[in-house]
Amino acid sequence: MLGSLIAVLGTLLGSVSTHLFQQRATERTEARAREGLLRQERLAAYSGFAAAVTELKRAVVTVRLRRSDPAALDAALAEADRLGALAETARFRLLLVSGRPEPLADAAFACVGALHEAADRSDLRDREAEFETAVAAFIAAAADRLAVAPRSAR
């Protein structure tokens, strides 16, 4: 009788411990999956912002170059306005997904605004170079953030 009781208790203990180990493994797998999804969302937000702000820069430069042609200027202004709204939306999404301030994104966005104030084509080229530098810094920082190992793997 005692032997049977010990066998039953051993079986129950084994079942409970197996259940606990499986539950932990499932939780770890789910946490890794969440981290992977969050990383994909961040990648999409960072790359989406970089693409949107670059398209906006192109449109702003087009506006600057078409100032002497009123018919072409109206279309260029409309396109720049549309792309400005898309870039702002991408910036908001980036802030939501990253969960923290993004000063390098703000700097790249500010460089686009500075293009409006270019005095001549030489100044415009200089400001475009500043924009490219700002976007490169943003992308490098984003790549560093995305390369960090997820918390559950540490």
Confidence class of residue 154 from pLDDT cuts 50, 70 and 90? very low
**The pLDDT value given to residue 153:** 41
Chain center to CA of 18: 40
Per-residue model confidence as pLDDT tens digits over 44-87: 999 999 999 999 999 999 999 998 899 899 999 999 999 999 99
Residue 150's contacts (CB-CB under 8 Å, 6 or more residues apart) are 32, 35, 36, 39
Q: Please tell me the total count of domains within the chain.
A: 1
The answer to whether position 22 is within a domain reads no
Q: Which domain holds residue 91?
A: 39-153
DSSP 149: P
Q: Report if residue 54 sits inside a domain.
A: yes
Flag whether 15 is in a domain.
no
d(CA 94, CA 142): 11
Q: What is the dihedral of CA 124, 105, 51, 83, to 10 degrees?
A: -70
CA distance 82 to 62: 14
pLDDT in tens, 23-51: 898 889 898 988 899 999 999 999 999 99
CA distances from 39 to 23, 93, 96, 135 (A): 24, 14, 13, 20
